[in-house]
Each structure stands twice: as structure tokens, then as C-alpha cells.
Amino acid sequence: MSQHPPNSSVSHLRIPDDRAGQRLDNFLMSQLKGVPRSRIYRIIRSGEVRVNKKRARQTYRLEAGDQVRVPPVRTAERGQAPVSRELGGRLADSLLYQDDELLIYNKPAGLAVHGGSGIQVGLIETLRSLYPDTTGLELAHRLDRDTSGCIMVTRERPFLRRLQKLMNQGGVTKRYWLLCHDFPATHTSVEASLEKGGRGGERIMHVAEDGKSARTDFRLLERFESLALVEATLVTGRTHQIRVHAQHGGFPLLGDPKYGDAERDRPWQQAGVRRLCLHARSLAFRHPDHGGFLQVEAPLDEAMNRALELAREAAAT
């Protein structure tokens, strides 16, 4: 299989065994270096990309032996934005765990996990730039742009498939810390199906009976009058799940521009809280290769710690 299809003519690529299970859009990102994700989505939607001579969705999971037609595509006019020394340094400092197959980072709030939708460089593009000799870097899962904390990046496709299988089977425990308004008890579970919607091109999730099943378990860690520090454990892993379930349960997250309560957030914003108060605190699982138990915790960043300090100060007055 050609690793870099020429931009001047159509290429037909046969999918090898080690690419089986990869999404079509991610496969094309690895082949069309420098082409923005938005452009790749367009050529898939237009039918210029074909799988076994048929149209395919960007989410299609490739199978070994599939034939993928890749049209001639010019790279972005401005090219990929250079990775700043500051961002590279921040990521180097945020590495929580590494071995021959896996990297776990404490992703900064405000950094998208990948480029697209007007974002030229995300976490994965930055890491590929920092480690050009490691050609198989892939995200194992995702975090919202404004969520900080633990995110896993794999070095090779076969390990990625094993890790994702483990996640799909519930073998990875993901816990998040959040600040929210009016948490109702010491423990509560929200089980409500979710489906995607949209308004003005913005992706929004909402509770719907015919949506995909979803459950989040919430546990009180610390209460500060109207605010609370809460731990959320994902039983399922839907888009924006914690944020929507918190809103549905009547305890919206502090600083959430999509699902929060702007009126109740206002005095905290004026006091200096400028971020979504959601942090992927820890991951725990048995390593797919050697079977050893692995638990990784991500420290809170300065902004999240400051929000906690303000909540404690307000409760003490």
C-alpha cells in the first residue's frame, strides 16, 4: 500500500490487515499528509472517495482487502500550522505514562484532540510533529476541546484495536471531576438515552427515548453551598455524556457554554472562572499486552484549582 498517494492522480489503495478496523476518515488523514480534516470530509461526502467502488461514510470501518479510491487532493493552501515551542513544551511536561505501545497525557483545556472545523493543529497533529519517526500515532478515544485530563494515544494500529476492544467491553474505568450547581445528593446515577442534534452547524446532544443508551454515575466529593465537586464515572461513553446528564439531572456544570446555566455562572465568571469545569481525572485498566493493572491520575490545572479555591472561599464567608 502506498503510504503517500500522489496528489496529481487518482490512487487505488488496498487495505492491509494492520489497518482493518480503522475509520475511513482517519485512514485518509494518515495518507493525505497536510490536507485539512474538513477537506477530507468534503471529498468523502461528495463521493470522490470510494470503497470497493461504492460511496462510504466517514465513519465506515475498513476491512482487510478493501479497495479505497483516493482522488487527487491538493494540500491546504497555508499548509499545516507550525507547532509552537510553547505547546510542544506543555505537552512534554504533561506526559503521565508511556511504554512501547501507549502514551497517556494530561491534555490542557482549550486544546482540541485533532484539527478540523477551523482548528489547524490539535493534540494528535502536534504529537505527530514532535515524534515524526513514530508513524502509527493514533487517538484511542476523545475528549472535548474544553475538557482537560487523561487521554490515551497509541503507537501502533494492532495495539489500538486491542485497547479499543477493551474499552468497548467496559474494561477501562474513566473517572472525571467536575464542579456543578446544586448537586442533589451524595450519590446519584443518570440513565438517559442520548442522540445528536444541531443548531447553526453546532453539534448538540440531547436526551431522547430513541437515542443511544447512556449512563453516568455521580458521587459527591466536596460541597460548597450551591456548588459541589463531584466525581463522575462513565458506564457508557457517548459524546458530551457527562455534560448532558448533569444538565438533565438538574446540576449543570460550571462554565459549560452549551449545557450550563449562564445566569448562575455569571458571578463565577466575574470572579475569574473562565473554563468548563470538567477534568478527566483518572484511567484504570489491565494493560492489553502484559495484563498488569494500570491506574493513571491527572493533576488539576491552575484554572481548575483556582475555581475550587473560589468555591471554598465563597462557602467560608
Q: Known catalytic residues?
A: 144
Half-sphere exposure of 139 (CA within 13 A, CB side): 20
Q: Which of 153, 147, 207 is nearest to 175 (CA)?
A: 147
The Cα 35–Cα 128 span in angstroms is: 14
Give me 262's grid cell: 449562564
The Cα 238–Cα 218 span in angstroms is: 16
Q: Which of 185, 176, 166, 266 is nearest to 228 (CA)?
A: 185
Task: Name 89's Cβ contacts closer than 8 Å, sequence gap at least 6.
Answer: none
The Cα 109–Cα 117 span in angstroms is: 17
> What is the C-alpha end-to-end distance of the chain, expressed in Å?
66
Q: Are the beta carbons of 153 and 137 closer than 8 angstroms?
A: yes
Distances (CA, A) of 134 to 100, 127, 129: 11, 9, 10
Which 3 state secondary structure label does DSSP give 122? coil
Beta bridge partners of 286: 293
Tell me the helix, strand and coil percentages in the chain, rounded to 5: 25, 30, 45
Q: Which of 65, 53, 73, 62 is nearest to 27 (CA)?
A: 62
Stated as kind and residue range, the H or E segment containing 25 is helix 24-31
How far from the centroid of its chain's Cα atoms is residue 230's Cα? 21
